[in-house]
Structure 1
Amino acid sequence: MPRTDQASRDIPASPERVYAALTDPEALAAWLPPAGMTGRFDHYDPRPGGTYRMTLTYADPEGAPGKTTADTDTVEARFVELVPDTRVTAEIDFKSDDPAFTGPMTTTWSLEPVPEGTRVTFTATNVPDAIAPADHAEGMSSSLLNLEAYLER
């Protein structure tokens, strides 16, 4: 059954700065990977209909085996919507031989101005069944913490 996971965090930065961090590949590679992972883009074309391919590598594959190889998760994605300073939506497909990880999963980063900065809400719909809800919640929260730390620099 399709599942939706969501995490949110108020980040002390303007929506403009948050949106810039959501759409710049160097920024994304720095903050998007959850704790215990690193990331790199093979290509990145940020426009509606544009695509990207990102590989996340686990520091310790024993604790969290990858979906693509023993120590990696590779995703191919297509941007659905980019609304400056408001929202970024993409369809994500995990590259995996295990059909339980196949998608597409839709991710939406929504930005809402709040007095302290920006409320960032990360929503994932059609989450593959094989992604454990607790692990996904932890990863989403970790990415939001990373985003806040990145913007505090």
Structure 2
Amino acid sequence: MDRTDRASRVIAAPPANVYDALLDRESLEAWLPPEGMRGRVEWWDPRPGGGFRMVLTYLDPTDSPGKTSDATDVVDVGFAELVPPERVVQRAVFEADDPSFAGTMTMTWHLAAAGDGTEVTVTATDVPPGIDQADHETGIASSLANLASYLEGTD
């Protein structure tokens, strides 16, 4: 699994606010699920070595069958590194019977001041081959758009 997927976006909020939204349970539930999904955090431990479990549910699973069940993706995420307000490194493992979704994907959220805002770059490495690259990058971009909307107070 040598593939790397990425997306970035400038968000009109300071790096500290973006960082806080990455480590707040209710915030994460609100903005992380990409378009067409909703999310629920089952457990939460926001510290290095901690993590969370998120259940992502497809609003219409007809064309997007889930990895864990027909309508869901369940992912266990560990916090590998927390560097306020610059970086969050996560290790994500999907709950799936299909071996093409097996393995640990690393998600690095890099935050850099950009004028009055923050450039957020998400880099996913060791992406399981069962995850379509175009769909994954679209999903990351959708989460970033949700994060921008959440922090900027826009729809």
TM range (shorter): over 0.9
Distance (Å, rounded) in 1 between the aligned partners of 2:43 and 2:87: 21
Distance (Å, rounded) in 2 between the aligned partners of 1:132 and 1:25: 27
Q: Equivalent residue for 1:100? A: 100
* Aligned pairs for 1:4-83 within 5 A: 4-83=4-83
* Structure 1 residue 88 displacement after superposition: 0.6
Deviations 1:86-135 (CA, angstroms, capped at 9, x unpaired): 11111100000001001100001100001131000011000010111110
Q: Secondary structure at the match of 2:66?
A: coil
Distance (Å, rounded) in 2 between the aligned partners of 1:95 and 1:3: 20
TM-score (norm 1): 0.98
User: What code does the residue aligned with 1:122 have?
Assistant: V
Q: Equivalent residue for 1:124? A: 124
Deviations 1:12-63 (CA, angstroms, capped at 9, x unpaired): 1000110011100100000000000000011010111112111000000012
Distance (Å, rounded) in 1 between the aligned partners of 2:79 and 2:116: 29
Number of equivalent positions:
153
Q: Give unpaired runs (5+ residues) of structure 2.
A: none
Q: Secondary structure at the match of 2:100?
A: helix
User: What code does the residue aligned with 2:139 have?
Assistant: G
The question of whether the paired residues in 2 share the 8 Å contact of 1:88 and 1:108 is answered with: yes
Segments ≥4 residues shifted beyond 6 Å: none
The question of whether the paired residues in 1 share the 8 Å contact of 2:11 and 2:152 is answered with: no
TM-score (norm 2): 0.97
The question of whether the paired residues in 2 share the 8 Å contact of 1:10 and 1:116 is answered with: no
Q: Secondary structure at the match of 1:135?
A: helix
Distance (Å, rounded) in 2 between the aligned partners of 1:147 and 1:125: 21
Q: Secondary structure at the match of 2:92?
A: strand
Distance (Å, rounded) in 1 between the aligned partners of 2:115 and 2:136: 29
Distance (Å, rounded) in 2 between the aligned partners of 1:125 and 1:29: 23
Q: Give unpaired runs (5+ residues) of structure 1.
A: none
Q: Secondary structure at the match of 2:75?
A: strand
Q: Secondary structure at the match of 1:108?
A: strand
Distance (Å, rounded) in 1 between the aligned partners of 2:74 and 2:11: 28
User: What code does the residue aligned with 2:50 have?
Assistant: G
